[in-house]
Homo-oligomer: A and B are copies of this chain.
Amino acid sequence: MATIYEVSELAGVSLATVSRVVNKNARVSDKTKEKVLNAMKELGYKPNSIAQSLASNRSNSIGLLVSELHGPFFGAMMSGIEAELRAAGKHTIIASGHSDEKTEQDSIEFLVGRKCDALILHAEAVSDEFLLELSKGTTPFVIINRIVPGIEEHCISLDNEHGGYLATKYLIEKGHTQFAYVSGPNWKKDARDRYAGHLRALAEQGLTQHPKLLVEGNFQQSGGRYGLEQCLSANLPFTALVCGNDEMASGAITRAREADLSVPDDFSIIGFDNIIYADYLFPKLTTIEYPVQKMGQMAAKLILANTYRIETGELTTEFTPRLIERDSCVNL
């Protein structure tokens, strides 16, 4: 690989001048600029971005931590972020945390070590203290789907509690009073918040739910299957199943069909997230929208604005869930 040194030699100018034309910042006379550009072309010169990072202490790349590299939720998030950043000429370095404390820390340290100019974190397992400590470091970051007290302005979040409330409220308005609930993992804040919203909607109407009709799932399709099985085997009546997310709703619907139960005739189902294929399930899934792609874009915009001083429009950190009505819930 040709180095800047060879280019300077061939062009008959100094290193500094080559660097100037590469970075287009300082003024270089048209004549010398052309000599340099020709030399670069002739040698097929590409700047070594590692060396650039080391010397300039910036890398034009943003580190992104997600829990998993698969699944509709993170897929939408990664896409939203990458598109926004790429449009601004920045690169995204993705690492996964697998919802595990140690792995999340490792990944964050990797990204910091790679001299990312900023970080976008979907960190679930790491403690508030860790993030607070991180915020004292030199790498700025924004957090998605979590509010850390003390650094709220760097947290992009959706009101999960309100979303949970909306879902159950909607079913109550449709006349439902007997509920089953398949939640996400209890250690996850968003799962707990969604359930809290559900409880609030219930309480508002003086309704309660049998403990056997609350089952903890895993936010995956298998959790929905399992959840429904548990509810069914409790042998207690319910007319509506509220799922912590769409993937579990999808699993539950499939399981229901296997048990010769029909959704929504035998019971209604509502999900959460509005993942890309919610509209392609049968029945089409009524759900709460989690605008994760937009939130990802916003995270990117925040960084563009704060770290690179590139303005890209309105900035917000709070997003509101909203009901998407489709076919999986009926009036009672």
Instruction: List A residues at the B interface (Cβ < 8 Å).
Output: 1, 46-51, 53-54, 59, 61, 68-72, 74-76, 78-79, 82, 91-96, 109-110, 112-115, 137-138, 221, 250-251, 253-254, 257, 276-277, 279-282, 284
Complex Cα distance A48/B110, Å? Answer: 9
Given contacts A70-B72, A72-B72, A280-B281, 11 further A-B contacts (CB under 8 A): A1-B138, A46-B109, A48-B54, A49-B110, A49-B114, A49-B115, A70-B76, A74-B75, A82-B96, A253-B282, A281-B282
Complex Cα distance A253/B47, Å? Answer: 50
Could you list some 16 contacts between A and B, CB below 8 A?
Answer: A47-B113, A49-B113, A49-B115, A50-B115, A69-B75, A70-B72, A70-B76, A70-B79, A75-B75, A94-B94, A250-B280, A251-B280, A254-B280, A254-B282, A254-B284, A280-B281
Contacts of A53 in B (CB 8 A): 50
CB-CB nearest in chain B for A47: B113
Number of copies: 2
Q: Tell me how far the C-beta of A225 lies from the nearest C-beta in chain B, rounded to whole angstroms.
A: 9
Contacts of A94 in B (CB 8 A): 69, 92-94
Contacts of A51 in B (CB 8 A): 54
Contacts of A82 in B (CB 8 A): 69, 96
A50 and B46 contacting across the interface, CB-CB below 8 Å:
no
A95 and B95 contacting across the interface, CB-CB below 8 Å:
no
Complex Cα distance A51/B51, Å? Answer: 8
A115 and B254 contacting across the interface, CB-CB below 8 Å:
no
A95 and B92 contacting across the interface, CB-CB below 8 Å:
yes
CB-CB nearest in chain B for A96: B82
Q: Tell me how far the C-beta of A175 lies from the nearest C-beta in chain B, rounded to whole angstroms.
A: 26
Contacts of A276 in B (CB 8 A): 70, 221
A75 and B79 contacting across the interface, CB-CB below 8 Å:
no
CB-CB nearest in chain B for A225: B280
Complex Cα distance A53/B184, Å? Answer: 41
Complex Cα distance A277/B253, Å? Answer: 12
Q: A48-B115, A49-B110, A70-B78 are in contact. Are A221 and B93 (CB under 8 A)?
A: no
User: 7 closest pairs, A vs B, by CB?
Assistant: A70-B75, A69-B78, A49-B113, A282-B282, A94-B94, A70-B79, A50-B115
Q: Tell me how far the C-beta of A282 lies from the nearest C-beta in chain B, rounded to whole angstroms.
A: 4
